[in-house]
Structures are given as structure tokens and as C-alpha cells.
């Protein structure tokens, strides 16, 4: 890859014209080269390139954790509503990120944004049965036998039989935690609806083995650590 393309497109330091000026003014250093030029060929993953004394680490893929707030749709574009991409910091926009899966516009919580199509496919593939854990507040507390229907695989209004789910009750917060292994449309709401209960609030708190950082306020976003990324792997 050309040095100017690396600094402009891959690292987002400015336009090609801007980058050429940086190089000319001596703000760019390439280890092993005394006089770097814009057309210099480098290896993005191996070459040591510095800008204003700071090492520029190449990233092919980016993985972000967002605590999605209500009012945003899990899409890259939408004609009527703001999207989760609107919450992405400007320095990450060049990676053309997309959300892994969907959360309803009124659902909060863990949303993964990435440009890694392979990982997204693995996490969303029905054959992998990836777990997704939600916290739900209901209009009333279901009876034990009603919850057992969900735990054993409840049948939805369209006749679809869900896989068995894990359901627990948080007495202190008066909320239910439900773990499902599918991703049907409005699934959690429909599962509780099948026992006559309405979901008032819904928040995804976990996907696979990755848990939402409770320090992230709604709308806040950060990169995953290497350890967290391992928890997402299928």
C-alpha cells in the first residue's frame, strides 16, 4: 500500500493532499527509510509508521460496544429515525461499520458494531444458536406455570415453537432476565405476549459470552478489548 493512501484512507489522517503536506513537512517517519515519499510502498501490518511521533497502528477490522439508547434503529441508514451509526465517533466512520443483528427502536442495551462480516455472519447464523440475554420489565408478574411454558419452548401466535429459554427473576429490580438462542422478529416481546404479559422495558445485557459494560451510559460507545473480542468468538 502507498504511504499516502495508508495515512489517508486506512488511518483517517486527512485527504491525500493533506497527507502529502504532512510528509513534505517532516511530520511522518517510516522506520528503515530516511526520506519517506507519498508513493513509498509499505506493509500496513508490518511497517512502523509514525505521525507526529505517534505510531500508527493499522486496523483492518474494528469492534465497538454501544449501549444503545431508545429512539435509535439498528441500521446503517433510515429515512425516518436516527440510527446507531449516528452515535459512532467520527474517527471510526471511515471503517463503514454496521450493527450485528437488530434491536427494536424502543429496546436498549448491548449493540455490537463492526466491519467484520465473517464474525457478524457467525453470530447471526441460526445454526450456531448464539445466546442473547435480556432484562425485561413486565406489566405484571407471570405465574410459575406460565414461565415454565417459556422455559420449555413456548409456541408463538404464528405457530412457531421457540427453543427453550432460561428465565430468572430479579426480585430487587422487579425485572426478568431471559436468555434466548434465536433471533426472531420481536421475539422476547412475543414470548411474554404468548402468556398474556406485556413488555414495558427491554434491554439486551449479553451476547454470546460478552456482557454489556455497566459503566457505559445510554448512547456511549467504546472499542472492545482483546479479551472481550474473544468472548464473542464462535
pLDDT recorded at residue 53? 95
- Which of 86, 93, 13 minimizes the C-alpha distance to 52? 13
Among residues 52, 104, 145, 213, the one annotated as catalytic is 104
C-alpha–C-alpha distance, residues 198 and 192, integer Å? 6
Q: Which residues contact 4 (CB under 8 A, 6 or more apart)?
A: 16, 19, 20, 23, 38, 39
Does the fold of domain 60-128+213-234 match that of domain 3-55?
no
Over range 9-16, report the average pLDDT: 85
Confidence of residue 158 (pLDDT cuts 50, 70, 90): very high
pLDDT digit string, tens, across residues 27-75: 999 999 999 999 999 999 899 999 999 999 888 899 999 999 999 999 9
The three-state (H, E, C) secondary structure of the chain, written as one string: CEHHHHHHHHCCCCCHHHHHHHHHCCCEEECCECCCCCCCECCCCCCCEEECCEECCCCCCCEEEEEECCCCECCCCCCCCCEHHHHCCHHHHHHCCEECCCCCCCCEEEEEEECCHHHHHHHHCHHHCCCEEEEEEECCCCCHHHHHHHHHCCECCCCCECCCCEEEEECCCCEEEEEECCCCCCHHHHHHHCCCCCEEEEEEEEECCEECCCCCCCCCEEECCHHHHHHHCC
Confidence of residue 94 (pLDDT cuts 50, 70, 90): confident
Q: What are the boundaries of each domain within the chain? A: 3-55, 60-128+213-234, 131-207
Q: Is 104 a catalytic residue?
A: yes
Judge: domain 3-55, CATH 3.30.420.40.
no
pLDDT digit string, tens, across residues 193-225: 999 999 999 999 999 999 999 999 999 999 999
User: Is residue 14's pLDDT more than 90?
Assistant: no
CATH domain 60-128+213-234 topology: Alpha-Beta Plaits (3.30.70)
The residue behind cell 434491554 is 203
pLDDT digit string, tens, across residues 172-201: 889 999 999 998 999 999 999 999 999 999
**What is the CATH superfamily name and number for domain 131-207?**
Alpha-L RNA-binding motif (3.30.70.1560)
Amino acid at each position: 500500500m502507498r504511504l499516502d493512501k495508508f495515512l489517508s484512507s486506512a488511518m483517517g489522517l486527512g485527504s491525500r493532499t493533506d497527507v502529502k503536506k504532512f510528509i513534505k513537512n517532516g511530520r511522518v517517519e517510516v522506520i528503515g527509510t530516511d526520506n519517506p515519499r507519498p508513493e513509498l510502498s509499505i506493509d500496513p501490518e508490518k511497517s512502523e509508521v509514525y505521525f507526529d511521533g505517534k505510531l500508527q497502528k493499522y486496523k483492518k477490522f474494528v469492534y465497538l460496544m454501544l449501549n444503545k439508547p431508545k429512539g435509535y434503529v439498528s441500521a446503517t441508514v433510515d429515512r425516518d429515525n436516527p440510527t446507531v451509526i449516528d452515535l459512532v465517533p467520527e474517527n471510526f466512520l471511515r471503517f463503514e461499520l454496521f450493527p450485528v443483528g437488530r434491536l427494536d427502536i424502543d429496546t436498549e442495551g448491548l449493540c455490537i458494531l463492526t466491519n467484520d462480516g465473517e464474525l457478524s455472519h457467525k453470530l447471526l447464523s441460526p445454526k450456531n444458536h448464539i445466546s442473547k440475554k435480556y432484562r425485561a420489565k413486565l406489566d405484571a408478574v407471570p405465574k410459575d406455570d406460565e414461565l415454565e411454558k417459556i422455559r420449555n419452548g413456548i409456541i408463538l401466535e404464528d405457530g412457531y415453537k421457540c427453543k427453550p429459554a432460561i428465565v430468572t427473576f430479579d426480585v430487587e429490580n422487579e425485572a426478568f432476565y431471559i436468555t434466548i438462542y434465536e433471533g426472531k422478529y420481536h421475539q422476547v416481546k412475543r414470548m411474554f405476549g404468548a402468556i398474556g404479559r406485556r413488555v414495558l422495558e427491554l434491554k439486551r445485557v449479553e451476547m454470546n459470552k460478552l456482557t454489556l459494560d455497566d459503566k457505559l451510559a445510554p448512547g456511549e460507545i467504546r472499542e472492545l478489548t482483546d479479551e472481550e473480542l474473544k468472548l464473542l468468538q464462535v
